[in-house]
Structure 1
Amino acid sequence: MKKLLGFILLLSVFTLSACTTLDDPPGHDDQDPHDNDNHNDNGLTEDFVETLLATLTLEEKVGQMLQAEEKYVTPQDVTQYNIGSILSGGGSHPHHYTDDVDVWYEMVSRYQTAALASSSQIPLLYGTDAVHGHNNVYGATIFPHNINLGMANDADLITRIGEATAREMKVTGIHWNFAPAVSVVEDIRWGRTYEGFSENVAIHQNLVRAYVEGLQAHDVLATAKHFVADGGTEGGQDQGNAIMSEEAVRAVHLPPFIEAIEGGVSAIMISYSALNGERMHGSHYWITEVLKEELGFAGIVLSDWNAIYQLHGDFYQQVVTAVNAGIDMLMLPYAWQAAHGILVDAANRGDVTIERIDDAVRRILRVKYAHNLFDDPFHRLDAETYFATDAHKELAREAAAKSFVLLENQGVLPLTGSEAVYLTGPAHHNIGYLSGGWTIHWQGTDAVYFGTGQTIYDAMKERIKDEAGQIVYSVGAADVVIVVFTEVPYTEWFGDTNQPALFGGLAHPGNQAAYQEALEAKSAGKTVIGVIASGRPL
């Protein structure tokens, strides 16, 4: 009787179907004419920035420091308030999740046109969380999550993924990626475990700079997040409190940000979490003294979504505290207009100095100039050449293959292709479960299909049709039973759990029945292969 085999651990891997023969490694498409074309003469950049800054009114400067969500700001607002940035949050689409790249580009262009019609005529930055490919956009190439890329630990691979993601973003006209998360994960109960590369600092040091350089090769801003120690909170609580010495922060959680800065990262996002009880969004020491002054970071420091509400005091005090701590741009999806009035008032009262406001706006203008926003604010890449290409899909397959973790193999894998194979388990025929959170919707999707990719069933059926084997639909007819267990998709605090296990917690409720089926198949003498698709070890 054959034994139940050990599991292949597959953490939010997304395997795509298309293959191509390439002379260059997958992901290196025909060259974008803007590749590596960002302004890199510091003298010219600073001259431009200082000249423009001197022309701006206080109201125009404050507008540059605000980032609003597309659903809560109109093009007319952008023109009136000189808004510096717009974002589409996780799961936010122009109209519907099936919107194509042209609809996305038209939306971004409407806001850009409005920005150029403002009194300052400064182009805006449009941002989104493209954390594993351009994952908000229907039909985009979906790459494995960072936890998989950490398992592959291949700097060249991750550079090519960054390049591919940036190109697909530029097909929609989007300039700013709120990625990568460089979280050193110390507790797998955390719901964002899969967003970090590893608990191993050395893996971050190998990958972070490579990812940043890949993304920014095409005038897309990368954002290292979340500063600092977001992966070190007590009990793995999202937005919780990290209790540790400064020496521990510097040894474990700061090095990935140093790598990002050395790679030229244009933005750093502050963490919701607290460090020894102090919310990071209010920490002048860590944001200004360490990040800006000690480490020399010259780009944009961005708050996280509504994170300043966790600071003490009323909204006026929260805005003042965050800006004085060193935050340059406030991600306030809904309350941006109130924040505009508050910052103007605070500057007039002297609660925020004009020097602090000028520092923030100087950084924002510097990044916009460096990424060619003033030269070509409507820059777009051709969809046919750059979006969901065969090369990008092959790159996703390469990344998935390199990041599989084989826990045990008792001489059965690889299969020969001559077997009768029965697939079961909640994730055996569902792309949504394989993709995890941050996929089309903020919390991911349980949809079998959503415009791209193959399920495991699809891929196995396609692969085996050229062999002597077959797909069968019962345990009794099978030689081999493949059981695919999964967690349900989740994002951020929805993924926090004290029970990171195959059953219970956030495990799919169908895992129990699938496990029982596996035991029965084993008892019947079948070869049983287990696969786990999850956002953390189970």
Structure 2
Amino acid sequence: MVKKVSIFVVWLMLLHCWVATSETKYLKYKDPKQPLNVRIKDLMDRMTLEEKIGQMTQIERKVASAEIMKNYYIGSVLSGGGSVPKPQASAEDWMNMVNDLQKGSLSTRLEIPMIYGIDAVHGNNNVYNATIFPHNVGLGATRDPKLVRRIGAATALEIRATGIQYAFAPCIAVCRDPRWGRCYESYSEDHKIVQAMTEIIPGLQGEIPANSPKGVPYAAGKRKVIASAKHYVGDGGTIKGINENNTVISRHGLLSIHMPAYYNAIAKGVSTVMVSYSSWNGEKMHANRNLITDFLKNSLRFKGFVISDWKGIDKITTPTHANYTYSIYAAITAGVDMVMVPLNYTEFIDGLTSLVESKAIPMSRIDDAVRRILRVKFVMGLFENPLADHNLVHHLGKKKHRDLAREAVRKSLVLLKNGENPNQPLLPLSKRASKILVAGSHADNLGYQCGGWTIEWQGVTGNNVTKGTTILNAIRNTIHKDAEVVYKENPDLDYVKSNNFAYAIVVVGEKPYAETNGDSLNLTISAPGPETINNVCGAVKCVTVIISGRPVVIQPYVDKIEALVAAWLPGTEGDGVTDVLFGDYGFTGKLPRTCHADNLGYQCGGWTIEWQGVTGNNVTKGTTILNAIRNTIHKDAEVVYKENPDLDYVKSNNFAYAIVVVGEKPYAETNGDSLNLTISAPGPETINNVCGAVKCVTVIISGRPVVIQPYVDKIEALVAAWLPGTEGDGVTDVLFGDYGFTGKLPRTWFKNIDQLPMNIGDSHYDPLFPFGFGLETKPHKTN
């Protein structure tokens, strides 16, 4: 009998163990067939306070490891500007890093996967060999939401090609003052254009299903990423355009100018919203409960999560981080759900834990934050597909995406002037001219062409930034083989006059910058740009292409310039500029605001490879504008490149024309704040020397309008190329007439900085080139 009882007891114990094991195998939150809210509730019911606070914490990759992810239950990791696994890291390097961190998260008790975020603001711009698209200021000039949506889809694939699932984009700021260093991150000074360009969100995330509840986030699987509408709200309206400053405006003004794009973003299922460093009427946005919780979450019914900016909560106090406990309290109670710490994560976790345990912050606020974060993770399919898919690596920088970038470049170019006589336009340029001068600091600098947020935070200079085509190379690729292209960066007047140039192309503008480094009170073309315009356009017919992130001072030079093109910050595909300059495509761009040549780093601007961008041509793969020119012209044409030729040099050579590419150097965020908005030296000198001696086209590489008026009279043709990115051929596509100019100014191009801020509708509106301006040309494929 005892033996029978013992057997029965053992049987019961085994049955109990089997049932317990079966129960642990089935977890509702891991079942994709369960309703979303059921999965969220099931998981949250199992979570400790420590695990919940971990989900609210985002840390920088430099302090992250699999062990840290496991021990602190970290919910998200990011790469700051220029933070990479190693220099020129491959897609596989990125994937391996992300997967290693993800495996740490999956080794936790509840196996909650982390999200990896990155500033992919004009392509996957921190990554070497990625396609660098024009910055938003250029995309605003295209007036083409469908194009922007396609760019979003391509960017999503290139982000996923590196294993990353979260883009800190788009920036839907309405830049009201071009002195702001982040103006090139804004599509326009007009909120209606910014609203239209939120079409990039379904490109990044996928099309939200019909009849989806308002405010619910959406992401369509492992070929898409989650997006972040930023910077909430009013970041583009600060006093004098000073980054992270105070936006003084009525509530009606805030809601009618700066808020509308958020309505569109939420309707399109944007997953996250990033808070602005700026203040509204003196109150820090990171601590503004009325706008974050009451308006965004309650009135607009936004159901995704709200994330801080980099050390955003630290800046609630003055000086920064002076009272971190208060900063945590103010931000979390205001409605911030995830904090981009990014480095001192233990201080943040300990501080928030203490505030909850002392009941200063209610548990309901923590639960609201975590519920929102988990909702996004479930919706994007992260629990089902937490690890990167190595089958996607081939999408990084693929030709289809570079062709798209080139198309975007040519559509973004705004033709501001085309000949002194409308019946005798300079553009499209002849590909068979015997001798062509290309001048300007931005003609053969891919870093300048891309602008800030390219490889490095502030951008870089030179042509080793990444793969791409400078405008100079795009010109060489475009012209006839018998045409001679002479490149001289800043030629003096005598040089220009002494050469029999058919015409000149001058490419000048701003140097790369990002954020505060770009703040400027004068908005001038970087030196020696003005000198280059004066020298070249004063001696020969010239097209001036402005590379800038905003309108710059150009009025002093307009009379010298035969044709003037706003190229913004076109990125790596310089061929998009020559597509239009030479008539293969027409100009179609329009000024997004009332209104550089062989350096891929300049061409791409800030937020390219590094936070502030980089200089030179080793930034990443791409085509500088110089190489695009060389690829475009006829085989018999000679292309002479001289970065900053003196006037005598230009005069002493028989150039058919000159192409001067100048502008701003790369920058990002505060580094881009500028009080003068001038073309980087020696851009002005190059314009003066070249355009004063030979017909010249000046291409401006900048993230905004810059001071160009002093040189306009010398410039025969002027092109705003913005920050075009790696595909310099997009510039030559247009310069040489294979495509027409179609871009329209997304910003007002001012005459001088004393007019600023000046936006369309202002009573004192007297621009050099008005918002929406842009001459058009037709393709001239037989050129």
TM-score, normalised via structure 2 length: 0.62
Question: Which of 284, 291, 296 lines up with 1:286 in the alignment?
Answer: 291
Cα deviation, residue 383, structure 1: 4.8
Matched, 1:434 2:449: yes
Task: Give the number of aligned pairs.
Answer: 492
Kept in 1: contact 2:289–2:335 (CA 8 A): yes
Distance in 2, matches of 1:488 and 1:446, equals 8
Q: Name the structure 2 match of 1:339.
A: 348
Relative to structure 1, is the Cα distance of residues 68 and 207 closer, same or farther in structure 2, using a 3 angstrom cutoff?
same
| Secondary structure of the corresponding residue to residue 330 of structure 2 | helix
| Secondary structure of the corresponding residue to residue 398 of structure 1 | helix
Cα deviation, residue 380, structure 1: 2.1
Letter in 1 for 2:695: T
Question: Which of 326, 331, 337 lines up with 1:328 in the alignment?
Answer: 337
Write out aligned runs for 1:186-205 (5 A).
186-205=176-195
Identity across the alignment (%): 40
Q: Name the structure 2 match of 1:389.
A: 398
Cα deviation, residue 224, structure 1: 0.2
Kept in 1: contact 2:162–2:393 (CA 8 A): no
Kept in 2: contact 1:170–1:381 (CA 8 A): no
Write out aligned runs for 1:66-215 (5 A).
66-96=57-87, 98-208=88-198, 210-215=199-204
Letter in 2 for 1:485: V
Distance in 2, matches of 1:390 and 1:328, equals 39
Q: Name the structure 1 match of 2:592.
A: none
| Secondary structure of the corresponding residue to residue 174 of structure 1 | coil
- What does the per-residue CA deviation read over 1:206-252, in whole Å, with 9 as the maximum and x for residues that have no partner? 111x1110001233010000000000111101000001110001100
Question: Which of 410, 414, 418 lines up with 2:428 in the alignment?
Answer: 414
Structure number with greater CO (CA < 8 Å, separation at least 6) is 1
Distance in 2, matches of 1:171 and 1:220, equals 11
Letter in 2 for 1:89: G
Distance in 1, matches of 2:392 and 2:382, equals 20
Kept in 2: contact 1:430–1:449 (CA 8 A): no
Q: Name the structure 1 match of 2:473.
A: 458
- What does the per-residue CA deviation read over 1:389-408, in whole Å, with 9 as the maximum and x for residues that have no partner? 11100100010010001000
Matched, 1:249 2:254: yes
Distance in 1, matches of 2:33 and 2:302, equals 14
Distance in 2, matches of 1:279 and 1:427, equals 38
Distance in 2, matches of 1:383 and 1:489, equals 31
Question: Which of 423, 432, 438 lines up with 2:438 in the alignment?
Answer: 423
Letter in 1 for 2:689: E
Question: Which of 676, 684, 688 lines up with 1:516 in the alignment?
Answer: 688
Question: Which of 526, 534, 538 lines up with 2:702 in the alignment?
Answer: 534
Cα deviation, residue 344, structure 1: 1.2
Distance in 2, matches of 1:427 and 1:113, equals 44
Cα deviation, residue 385, structure 1: 4.0
Kept in 2: contact 1:309–1:318 (CA 8 A): yes
Letter in 2 for 1:216: Q
Kept in 1: contact 2:157–2:392 (CA 8 A): no
Distance in 1, matches of 2:34 and 2:392, equals 35
| Secondary structure of the corresponding residue to residue 491 of structure 1 | strand
Cα deviation, residue 89, structure 1: 0.5
Distance in 2, matches of 1:473 and 1:65, equals 54
| Secondary structure of the corresponding residue to residue 700 of structure 2 | strand
Kept in 2: contact 1:484–1:532 (CA 8 A): yes
Higher mean C-alpha deviation, range 119-128 or range 512-521: 512-521
Distance in 2, matches of 1:508 and 1:266, equals 39
Distance in 1, matches of 2:248 and 2:55, equals 35
Distance in 2, matches of 1:258 and 1:427, equals 38
Question: Which of 228, 233, 252 lines up with 2:233 in the alignment?
Answer: 228
Greater helix content = 1
| 5+ residue gaps, structure 2 | 1-29, 207-222, 420-424, 489-495, 528-675, 707-783
Q: Name the structure 2 match of 1:238.
A: 243
Kept in 1: contact 2:95–2:390 (CA 8 A): no
Kept in 2: contact 1:82–1:115 (CA 8 A): yes
Kept in 2: contact 1:268–1:301 (CA 8 A): yes
Distance in 1, matches of 2:124 and 2:35, equals 32
Q: Name the structure 1 match of 2:276.
A: 271
Distance in 1, matches of 2:684 and 2:131, equals 32
Q: Name the structure 1 match of 2:328.
A: 319
- What does the per-residue CA deviation read over 1:111-168, in whole Å, with 9 as the maximum and x for residues that have no partner? 1000101223100000000000000000000000001111101111011000000000
Kept in 2: contact 1:82–1:120 (CA 8 A): no
- What does the per-residue CA deviation read over 1:277-333, in whole Å, with 9 as the maximum and x for residues that have no partner? 000000110000000000010001000000111224611111011000000000011
Cα deviation, residue 44, structure 1: 1.3
- What does the per-residue CA deviation read over 1:68-112, in whole Å, with 9 as the maximum and x for residues that have no partner? 00112222111000000000011111122x111111111111110
Cα deviation, residue 384, structure 1: 5.8
Q: Name the structure 1 match of 2:378.
A: 369
Kept in 1: contact 2:511–2:526 (CA 8 A): no
Q: Give the alignment's Cα RMSD to 1 decimal.
A: 1.6
Cα deviation, residue 447, structure 1: 2.2
- What does the per-residue CA deviation read over 1:28-47, in whole Å, with 9 as the maximum and x for residues that have no partner? xxxxxxxxxxx9x9981111
Letter in 2 for 1:119: R
| Secondary structure of the corresponding residue to residue 224 of structure 1 | strand
- What does the per-residue CA deviation read over 1:412-465, in whole Å, with 9 as the maximum and x for residues that have no partner? 100121112111110110110000000000000002232311111111111114
Question: Which of 501, 504, 518 lines up with 2:524 in the alignment?
Answer: 501
Distance in 2, matches of 1:76 and 1:294, equals 40
Distance in 2, matches of 1:421 and 1:389, equals 32
Cα deviation, residue 473, structure 1: 4.7
| 5+ residue gaps, structure 1 | 1-38
